């Protein structure tokens, strides 16, 4: 069974930093493209970033480009998202999402990031 467990969320001040982690199990992590998708409170879904299986391809939404960094460690079956220069509008639940036959097939339960002074 595919399992994705996010951690690292919390309360951070504007301009601060945070690193999110996603622990994967139940599949061969190193063979799948992974994503982060976020959802602001009471709002819709927004794709944030993608990293290919070998980290050869990395992409970001314009809203986070230059501030967020996605990475992965296939030996540790883990995905990461480094969030820098955080703003109030980055407040959201962040989901770790695995591609399958097509993109965004399996989702973790999410971790909440709150940016507030």
Q: Which region, judged by CB under 8 A, interacts with another protein, from 15-23, 68-76, 84-92, 93-101?
A: 93-101
Minimum distance of another protein from residue 92's CB (angstroms): 13
- Residue 54 sits in the site that holds another protein (CB under 8 A): no
Residues 6+ apart with CB under 8 A from 16: 86, 115
Q: What is the distance between the alpha carbons of residues 28 and 11, in angstroms, rounded to a whole number?
A: 33
Minimum distance of another protein from residue 5's CB (angstroms): 11
45, 67, 74, 84: which one binds another protein (CB under 8 A): 45
Residue 19: how many CB atoms within 10 A of its CB?
Answer: 13
Q: How many residues bind another protein (CB under 8 A)?
A: 20
In this structure, are residues 61 and 10 in contact, taking their beta carbons and an 8 Å threshold?
no
- Residue 25 sits in the site that holds another protein (CB under 8 A): no
- Residue 44 sits in the site that holds another protein (CB under 8 A): yes
Judged by the rule CB under 8 A, the positions of this chain that interact with another protein are: 44-47, 50, 57, 59, 61, 95, 100-110
């Amino acid at each position: 069974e595919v399992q994705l467990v996010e951690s690292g969320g919390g309360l951070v001040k504007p301009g601060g930093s945070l690193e999110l982690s996603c622990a994967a199990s139940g599949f061969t992590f190193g063979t799948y493209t992974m994503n982060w998708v976020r959802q602001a409170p009471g709002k819709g879904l927004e794709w944030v970033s993608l990293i290919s299986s070998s980290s050869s391809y990395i992409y970001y939404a314009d809203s986070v480009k230059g501030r967020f960094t996605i990475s992965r460690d296939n030996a540790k079956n883990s995905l990461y998202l480094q969030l820098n220069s955080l703003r109030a509008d980055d407040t959201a639940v962040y989901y770790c999402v695995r591609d399958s036959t097509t993109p965004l097939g399996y989702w973790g339960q999410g971790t909440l990031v709150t940016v507030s002074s």
